[in-house]
Structure 1
Amino acid sequence: MDRAPGVSVRLKLTLSYAGFLMLAGVLLLAAVWLFLLRYVPDRAMLYNPDDKPTGGVFPVRSALLVVFAPRAAAVLAFLLVFGLVGGWILAGRMLAPLTRIADATRRATHGSLSHRIRLPGRKDEFRELADAFDAMLTRLEAHVAEQRRFAANASHELRTPLAVSKALLDVARTDPNRDTGELIDRLHAVNTRAIDLTEALLLAGRAEQRSFTRERVDLSLLAEEATETLLPLAEKHGVTLETSGEITTTTGSPALLLQLTTNLVHNAIVHNLPDQGTVWVTTDARPGTVVLTVENTGEQLAPDLISTLTEPFQRGTERIHTDHAGVGLGLAIAKTITQAHDGTLTLTPRPAGGLRISVELPATNPPTQRKSPGQN
């Protein structure tokens, strides 16, 4: 926003200090003058050295005024100069932290997010402001770095199916006798993957922007719907789905929360034991929060791998070569949806192998009844 130039804050504070000091000086001198007027007589008799009246009268107040006025003016002049100089110095010292904060803000405006104020000294209002600004820069820098990695990975992932499609079309052009049915099937698979990836990116962006209408949602119903939808996939992989828990009501987007639940259950089914695996989906109501937990059997997972699974396009090494590796955004989208609903997503390895994922969201009301455990 363009603004007309104005008086600096330092000058305003200087004038305020000087003005206050002048006002205090005027009031003090006025009080002294009133005291003198009250206790000093208007006229006084003149006495000789023998303490005898001479008969003459001396105007005391007039003489006092002649002596007091120039000295009072000199005091006020001194207070004015002292107030201006002292106020300028004090204002500069007081506003020095704001100068450092303004410099950091200008650097951040020009793209330098690595700079920190690190204002020294004990805690006060300016240092609280500087610390809050440093914390904001840290979060902003991490967010920008994450967005850049996301954009780079998304570009790479989108380029892959496009490059494959181009290669298949080039082969078809140079080899007219090639089986068109096989070519169409491969193009269909590649195109489907590109569409899935694009839809996943759009879903992640929608959740991150929180551009959705909030409604009352029961997570236990979403868990049942997700497990029923994915039951054929579970049967194909030889995985047993088990759901149980309480009525867990929260506020949010039913579509996004269903996508969150579906992603977690799908991830648990696909990355399970080769045979006779199990997925447990439970909902639990706690004071002020509701929790959706998805656990699955599987191989032992290293803690350093667990910490990367919610990053976009990150997959375990054992997942990349499977038929259901997906687009690498399942858990990343789940994390984004959780954060958009003011919740937390926690991943922990199970001691017996596999993964436990817990989603904790704000509750809208306490549970009213308990659901009986069921099995799909």
Structure 2
Amino acid sequence: MDRATGLSVRMKLTLSYAGFLMIAGALLLAAVWVFLLRGVPASNFRPGFSDFLRVFDPSNFGPRIFVPAAVVALAFLLAFGLLGGWLLAGRMLAPLARITHATRIVANGSLSHRIELQGPRDELHELADSFDTMVSRLEHTIAEQRRFAANASHELRTPLATTKALLEVALKDPSGARTELIGRLHHVNARAIDLTEALLMLSRADQGAFARETLDLSLLMEESAETLLTLAERRGVALHSSSTVTPVVGSGALLLQMTTNLLHNAIVHNLPQHGKVWVETSLVPDAALLTVENSGPTIEPAAIPVLLEPFQRGAGRIRTGDSGVGLGLAIVRSIVRAHQGSLVLSARTCGGLRVAVRLPAALMH
């Protein structure tokens, strides 16, 4: 936006300081004239100050002497106010100049720059700290988005490359088995569709733009369990549920996706045989709790944060036909954040994973 050039803040502060000093000096001189030179007789002063009294004797001190002296005093105050105000304003605005310089550096793309303002905490110090915090979050968000975009491109490139290879083989060998080719293409295409839908779901959760309603989290978990019951039976995993009415406010589609992802993750990353999954919903003061635990291989605590990253499965978690596209827990984290909740993952001592989701509770009428 184009704006007319005006006085700098430093100059405005300087003029303000000087103007205030001039007004104070003028009032002081007026008070001296009114209350001392005009209204106080010399006899009221203590003895011993005869020379001083003669100077301020109303009969010897008139406007012709006082006014020029007052003008000189005001001129001195003006010069002193301008010089002192300029130096004082410069000292006070020095942190603001550092903030402006840092803003220009960040605007040019250097998100690693920080102000790191030293000194006592005041308004400018808080502004600098807020700026550093904002830039840190922005740098982290952009780095996360770039990493996610790179991973998504890599994951999407795999089914596309596979499809291209299958089609090239089919063109070179027209007599090949079309049924097998169609089946493999169908599988690759289905996986690409699942990945695309997962990416859209993740983007929708990150934006936080969705309608909210009062829902029972336990019913959503039961619906997810019914949907995944066939998968659990095929993999020999037993589901154990302990649920109470757990009201929350949010998006039904997103929260159902969250419960489905958690349960699906617990089923597919389990023991090869006789695996178990424990699901529980409960209420605590002002919060709804959902915990999903599963048996499985031992997980190192250092590998827990990796599980929340997009397209990461952690050590010992390999891709299978039912393992999804690697966005399950990343989507869960985004959905929980969008609902102002918290997500905690912890490794079970006997093997497997425990996931605890805490969401703001709602009042059921």
Q: TM-score range by the shorter chain?
A: over 0.9
What secondary structure does 2:331 align onto?
helix
Q: CA RMSD in A?
A: 1.6
Correspondence 1:13 to 2:21: no
Q: Could you tell me which amino acid in structure 2 is paired with residue 191 of structure 1?
A: N
Q: Could you tell me which amino acid in structure 1 is paired with residue 293 of structure 2?
A: E
Q: What is residue 321 of structure 2 aligned with on the other side?
A: 323
Q: Distance in 2 between matches of 1:61 and 1:310?
A: 92
Q: What is residue 199 of structure 2 aligned with on the other side?
A: 201
Q: What is residue 50 of structure 1 aligned with on the other side?
A: none
Q: Could you tell me which amino acid in structure 1 is paired with residue 334 of structure 2?
A: T
Q: Distance in 1 between matches of 2:59 and 2:332?
A: 89
Correspondence 1:303 to 2:304: no
Structure 1 portions without partners, runs of 5+: 42-58, 369-376
Alignment of 1:236-275 (within 5 A): 236-275=234-273
Q: Distance in 1 between matches of 2:236 and 2:341?
A: 32
Structure 2 portions without partners, runs of 5+: 43-56
Q: Could you tell me which amino acid in structure 1 is paired with residue 99 of structure 2?
A: I
Normalising by structure 1, report the TM-score: 0.90
Q: What is residue 56 of structure 1 aligned with on the other side?
A: none
Alignment: residue pair count: 350
Correspondence 1:213 to 2:211: yes
Q: Could you tell me which amino acid in structure 1 is paired with residue 318 of structure 2?
A: I
1:333-374 CA-to-partner distances (Å, cap 9, x unmatched) read 000111111111110001111000011111123x89xxxxxx
Q: Distance in 2 between matches of 1:16 and 1:217?
A: 60
Q: What is residue 177 of structure 1 aligned with on the other side?
A: 175
Q: What is residue 280 of structure 2 aligned with on the other side?
A: 282
Q: Could you tell me which amino acid in structure 1 is paired with residue 251 of structure 2?
A: S
Q: Distance in 2 between matches of 1:346 and 1:317?
A: 19
Q: What is residue 96 of structure 2 aligned with on the other side?
A: 98
**Residue 63 of structure 1: CA displacement?**
4.3
Q: Distance in 2 between matches of 1:287 and 1:91?
A: 52
Correspondence 1:159 to 2:160: no
Q: What is residue 27 of structure 1 aligned with on the other side?
A: 27
Q: What is residue 348 of structure 2 aligned with on the other side?
A: 350
Q: Could you tell me which amino acid in structure 2 is paired with residue 12 of structure 1?
A: K
Quick check: 1:319–1:325 contact (8 Å CA) kept in 2?
A: no
Q: Percent identity?
A: 62
**Residue 61 of structure 1: CA displacement?**
5.6
What secondary structure does 1:307 align onto?
helix
Quick check: 2:303–2:315 contact (8 Å CA) kept in 1?
A: no
What secondary structure does 2:62 align onto?
helix
Q: Distance in 1 between matches of 2:59 and 2:360?
A: 80
Q: Distance in 1 between matches of 2:75 and 2:33?
A: 18
Quick check: 1:37–1:61 contact (8 Å CA) kept in 2?
A: no
Normalising by structure 2, report the TM-score: 0.93
**Residue 322 of structure 1: CA displacement?**
2.1
Q: What is residue 39 of structure 1 aligned with on the other side?
A: 40
Alignment of 1:24-173 (within 5 A): 24-35=24-35, 36-40=37-41, 60=58, 63-173=61-171
Q: Could you tell me which amino acid in structure 1 is paired with residue 174 of structure 2?
A: P
Q: Could you tell me which amino acid in structure 1 is paired with residue 203 of structure 2?
A: G
What secondary structure does 2:306 align onto?
coil
Q: Distance in 2 between matches of 1:4 and 1:196?
A: 55
**Residue 5 of structure 1: CA displacement?**
2.1
Quick check: 2:239–2:278 contact (8 Å CA) kept in 1?
A: yes
Q: Could you tell me which amino acid in structure 2 is paired with residue 231 of structure 1?
A: L
Q: Distance in 1 between matches of 2:338 and 2:239?
A: 28
Q: Which runs of 4+ in 1 moved over 3 A?
A: 59-63
